[in-house]
């Protein structure tokens, strides 16, 4: 299959392929998604095949208006409506109980719930409207690999496997949306992202559960990233805490192989980097680090001589929680030990 690259002015051509049951990757403000018509079960099943994704891992449904959610979900609570007003379009995904029979089990992983998102990307909103149906949109990458933040990342993983990619340039946020479970009595964050628990609580006046866990081997996850290893390059990632940098680089200098280094600029300027270590800038702070995280992991994944990657850790405050959630998954929760 030839994978076409659509400009953001070629929405109708991309929509035509989606209407025909093909897969087309699309941009959002967070990462690129792998799109299929959410109401076409055959097309949705192709998403799992293209990604190599386990079929019990449910897919996020992307919409271009709140009315679509109201048609598919059980009646929305006042809290849900407040969150939609505050954060949609934007980087918040919400899980709702569904009306019977509205979505295929291929979308929901067999559950009676589904995750919905209204992305803050004009190109993709126009695409959804042109298709006339909501789109499923898991990250447009090979399952388990770092999520794509450019059309080139998508092509690297899925060229020849999907019909097309809508290229809208690099994404703005760089880590996937916050996933908030609104199908239970107490809202719970199942995946942290740019929208924080404190921001959600300020809108709904209710405490949000934030204990993020992996589900058991026989359980079906409600959201992506709860069961399977994610975001992992071929090299081993080692997370480095604040006080361990001198020891980490001393250890790196003794290694007989090339290593990667993902680090903020200020910290880099305070250190002496060994010759066998290639540095990748995470920018100035945790916000820019979140934006560059997946690109950095992919950068070193393309360099086959890199065997280990030292990556800067941050506190779990604000977006740092989302950054560390992704980094720990990419590292298999492995830290450098001085």
User: Is residue 177 a known part of a binding site?
Assistant: yes
As beta bridge partners, residue 95 has: 115, 181
N- to C-terminal Cα separation, the chain: 49
User: Is residue 57 a known part of a binding site?
Assistant: yes
User: Is residue 68 a known part of a binding site?
Assistant: no
User: Is residue 234 a known part of a binding site?
Assistant: no
Residues 305-319: b if buried by 16+ CB within 10 A, e if exposed: ebbbbbbbbbeeebb
User: Is residue 117 a known part of a binding site?
Assistant: yes
User: Is residue 330 a known part of a binding site?
Assistant: no
User: Is residue 267 a known part of a binding site?
Assistant: no
User: Is residue 191 a known part of a binding site?
Assistant: yes
Residues 235, 303: Cα–Cα separation, whole Å: 9
| Measured CA distances, 62 to 95, 238, 269 (Å) | 12, 34, 42
User: Is residue 30 a known part of a binding site?
Assistant: yes
User: Is residue 147 a known part of a binding site?
Assistant: yes
User: Is residue 32 a known part of a binding site?
Assistant: no
Which of 116, 83, 82 is closest to 97 using CA atoms?
116
Give the neighbor-by-neighbor strand order of the sheet with 60-62.
4-7, 164-167, 24-26, 33-37, 135-136, 60-62, 113-117, 92-97, 178-181, 188-191
List, as residue ranges, the binding site: 30, 53, 57, 62, 113, 117, 139, 147, 177, 191, 231
List, as residue ranges, the binding site for ATP: 53, 57, 113, 139, 147, 191, 231
List, as residue ranges, the binding site for L-threonine: 30, 62, 117, 177
């Amino acid at each position: 299959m030839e994978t076409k690259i659509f400009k953001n002015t070629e929405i109708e051509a991309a929509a035509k392929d989606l209407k025909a049951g093909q897969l087309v990757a699309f941009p959002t403000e967070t990462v690129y998604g792998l799109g299929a018509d959410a109401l076409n079960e055959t097309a949705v099943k192709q998403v799992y095949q293209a990604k190599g994704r386990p079929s019990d891992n449910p897919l996020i449904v992307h919409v271009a208006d709140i009315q679509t959610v109201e048609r598919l979900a059980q009646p929305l609570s006042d809290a849900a409506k407040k969150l939609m007003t505050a954060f949609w379009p934007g980087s918040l995904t919400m899980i709702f109980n569904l009306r019977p029979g509205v979505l295929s089990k291929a979308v929901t992983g067999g559950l009676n719930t589904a995750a919905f998102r209204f992305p803050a990307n004009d190109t993709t909103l126009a695409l959804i409207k042109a298709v006339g149906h909501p789109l499923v949109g898991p990250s447009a990458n090979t399952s388990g690999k770092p999520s794509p933040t450019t059309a080139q990342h998508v092509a690297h993983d899925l060229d020849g496997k999907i019909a097309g990619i809508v290229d809208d340039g690099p994404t703005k946020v760089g880590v996937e949306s916050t996933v908030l479970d609104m199908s239970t009595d107490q809202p719970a964050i199942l995946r942290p992202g740019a929208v924080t628990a404190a921001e959600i609580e300020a809108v709904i006046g209710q405490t949000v559960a934030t204990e993020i866990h992996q589900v058991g081997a026989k359980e079906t996850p409600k959201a992506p990233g709860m069961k399977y290893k994610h975001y992992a390059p071929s090299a081993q990632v080692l997370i480095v805490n604040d006080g361990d940098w001198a020891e980490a680089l001393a250890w790196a200098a003794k290694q007989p192989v090339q290593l990667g280094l993902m680090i903020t600029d200020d910290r880099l300027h305070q250190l002496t980097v060994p010759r066998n270590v290639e540095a990748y800038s995470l920018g100035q702070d945790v916000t820019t680090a979140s934006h560059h995280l997946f690109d950095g992991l992919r950068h070193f994944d393309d360099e086959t001589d890199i065997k280990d990657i030292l990556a800067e850790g941050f506190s779990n405050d604000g977006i740092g929680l989302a950054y560390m959630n992704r980094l720990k998954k990419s590292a298999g929760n492995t830290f450098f030990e001085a």
